[in-house]
C-alpha cells in the first residue's frame, strides 16, 4: 500500500547536529537545506557536510536536499557533489521558472547506482504559477511540485493570506493533472503559533494539499493530526469500502449518501493514510 508522507522537516545543511536530530524527529522526510537556511560564507561547508552525510546509504527516513537556485554557480556545485551519493532520496529545486530547467537538469544530472535522483520543483514566482502544469509534466524524473509562499508573496505583493488561494489551487490542480502526488503545504514560519499552524493546515487540506513542510520538530504532531483522517472519516471510509465490495455499481447507503467509483477511490486513500505506518 502506498505510504503518503505527511511531514517534511527542513534542517540547515551547515549544522550537522541539527540534521542528525531531524533524522530521529519523527518526520517522514528530512530536507537538508543548502539554500535559504545557509549564509553565503557557509555554503561550501554545508555542501561538504551534506556530502559526508549522504555517503552513507541508510538513514532512518528518506533524505532530500534543497539545492541552491538553479541559475547560480552554487547549484552546479551542489549537484556535482551530491547527485550520485547513495544516501540521497530526492533533490528539491527552488525557484523553478520553466519546464526547460527541469528537462535540462534531469538529462544532465549523473545517475547514482539506484538511478536518476527524483526531482521536486518549488514554484515561487508568478511566472512559475502560470507555467505550473508545464513544469509538473516536464519529465518523468520530476516526482512532485510545491509552493514557496514567502517568495511568491513578495513577487505578487500580497499581504493577506487569502490572496494566495488561487495560486495554491493552481498548484494542486497542476500536480493532479500531471499525475503527481498532492503537493505538501509550504512551511508555517512561526514555530510558536501552533494554533495558527493547525488552522492553516485545515485550510490547506480543504484545498487539496496533503501534508506540510516544517521548520521545527514541534510542528510535526500538529501537521500529522491535521492531515490524518478523523474517526468519523475513518468509519465512513470503511462503510464505503464494505458496500463497494458487495456491489460494484453506484449505490445509496442507508444514511442516504450516494457512492460511486470516485467516492470509493477517496475512501481507499483515507484508509491508506491511516495505515501509512
Confirm whether residue 124 is marked as ligand binding.
yes
CB pairs under 8 A, 24+ apart, for 203-207? 204/168, 207/165, 207/168, 207/169, 207/172
Confirm whether residue 149 is marked as ligand binding.
no
Exposed (0-12), middle (13-18) or buried (19+): which is 173, by Cβ within 10 Å? middle
What is the spatial distance between Cα 235 and Cα 182, in angstroms, rounded to a whole number?
23
The secondary structure of residue 3, as a DSSP letter, is: -
Confirm whether residue 66 is marked as ligand binding.
yes
Residue with cell 460494484: 248
- Residue 171 CA to chain centroid, in angstroms? 12
User: Distances in Å between the alpha carbon of 202 and those of 60, 122, 147, 195, 229?
Assistant: 28, 22, 17, 11, 11
Of 136, 45, 67, 52, which is closest to residue 99 (Cα–Cα)? 136
Residues within the annotated binding site for Mg(2+)?
Answer: 124, 151
Residues within the annotated binding site for substrate?
Answer: 66, 124
Residues within the annotated binding site?
Answer: 66, 124, 151
Amino acid at each position: 500500500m502506498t505510504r503518503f508522507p505527511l511531514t517534511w522537516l527542513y534542517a540547515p545543511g551547515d549544522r550537522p547536529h541539527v540534521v542528525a536530530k531531524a533524522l530521529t524527529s519523527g518526520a517522514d522526510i528530512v530536507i537538508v537545506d543548502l539554500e535559504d537556511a545557509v549564509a553565503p560564507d557557509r555554503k561550501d561547508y554545508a555542501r561538504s557536510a551534506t556530502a559526508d552525510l549522504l555517503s552513507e546509504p541508510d538513514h532512518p527516513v528518506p533524505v532530500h536536499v534543497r539545492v541552491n537556485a538553479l541559475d547560480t554557480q552554487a547549484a552546479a556545485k551542489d549537484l556535482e557533489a551530491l547527485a550520485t551519493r547513495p544516501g540521497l532520496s530526492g533533490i528539491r529545486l527552488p525557484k523553478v521558472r520553466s519546464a526547460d530547467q527541469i528537462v535540462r537538469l534531469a538529462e544532465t544530472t549523473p545517475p547514482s547506482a539506484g538511478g536518476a535522483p527524483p526531482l521536486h520543483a518549488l514554484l515561487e514566482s508568478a511566472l512559475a504559477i502560470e507555467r505550473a502544469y508545464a513544469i509538473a509534466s516536464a519529465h518523468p524524473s520530476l516526482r512532485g511540485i510545491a509552493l514557496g509562499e514567502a517568495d511568491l508573496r513578495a513577487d505578487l505583493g500580497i499581504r493577506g493570506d487569502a490572496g494566495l488561494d488561487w495560486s495554491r489551487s493552481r498548484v494542486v490542480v497542476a500536480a493532479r493533472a500531471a499525475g503527481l502526488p498532492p503537493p505538501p503545504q509550504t512551511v508555517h514560519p512561526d514555530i510558536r503559533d501552533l494554533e495558527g499552524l493547525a488552522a492553516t493546515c485545515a485550510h490547506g487540506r480543504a484545498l487539496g494539499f496533503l501534508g506540510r513542510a516544517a521548520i521545527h520538530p514541534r510542528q510535526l504532531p500538529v501537521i500529522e493530526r491535521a492531515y490524518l483522517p478523523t474517526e468519523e472519516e475513518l468509519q465512513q471510509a470503511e462503510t464505503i469500502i464494505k458496500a463497494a465490495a458487495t456491489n460494484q455499481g453506484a449505490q445509496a447507503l442507508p444514511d442516504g449518501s450516494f457512492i460511486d467509483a470516485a467516492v470509493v477511490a477517496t475512501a481507499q486513500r483515507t484508509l491508506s493514510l491511516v495505515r501509512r505506518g
